[in-house]
Amino acid sequence: MEKMLILLKPDGMVRRYSGARALKSILELGVDIKFFQVLKPKKEFLADRHYVEHKGKFFYDNLVNFMSSTELAVIIASGDNVVEKVRTLLGKTMCEKADPLSIRGRYGTTKGVNLVHASDSNETADKEVKLWEEIINLEEGKDYKKEMQAYIKTYENFPMIDSVRYREVSKDLSEGNISKEEAEKIIGELLTKETDFDEAEVSKLPALITENILLG
């Protein structure tokens, strides 16, 4: 049986409805949930372990800053062909190019701000699961699927903003129709309508999202 790592990213955490619906779609694949917990890994772990292969790339700093900006929902899932099934459900990395019915096509904000990380091959899955098992506390006999279902139930009917609105802001910024400051203000206002996070946590995301847009 294959095992893989799935992370609900900061945009999926803050945008409560979208994150919950993404997780619900993953459960509906019939995969086994071996671990589920909301936690905040150390920035150094993300930078020097999880994303170390990207160090030096143009998007690395933004990626690490974004992924360490809030808590993450950490999931280990297993099943036959689980990596292929989940990756197909997620859709392409760049959400504008993803199938509209995929998770990223439906809920992704812009470019790589795409709600969910998932291991992209069996080799990567094996490496990521072993890595994250170093920092999580796996409890024998715990019903992690039930924990995940409880999280989904809490947020699946939360207020939401259509992802199209975020992509309109992204397009306007990319084309120079609005400034970075204007884009940050709009994105901040949109995020606050979708979340119960406190203002200090939400305030970190608009600048990181707009930076991601401008990185090209």
Distance in angstroms (rounded) separating the CA atoms of residues 65 and 43:
8
- The 10 Å CB-count burial string (b at 16+, else e) for 128-155 is bbeebeeeeeeeeeeebeebbbebbeeb
Task: Specify whether the CB–CB gap between 78 and 36 falls below 8 A.
Answer: no
Distance in angstroms (rounded) separating the CA atoms of residues 83 and 93:
15
How many helices, marked H, and strands, marked E, lie in the chain?
A: 12, 4
Burial of residue 44 (number of CB atoms within 10 Å: 0-12, 13-18, 19+): exposed
Which pair of structure tokens corresponds to residue 117?
């990380």
Distance in angstroms (rounded) separating the CA atoms of residues 90 and 102:
5
User: 117 an active-site residue?
Assistant: yes
Q: Which of 9, 87, 117, 204 is catalytic?
A: 117
Tell me which residue of 42, 84, 80, 47 sits closest to 63, measured CA to CA.
47
Burial of residue 13 (number of CB atoms within 10 Å: 0-12, 13-18, 19+): buried
Q: Which residues are identified as catalytic?
A: 117
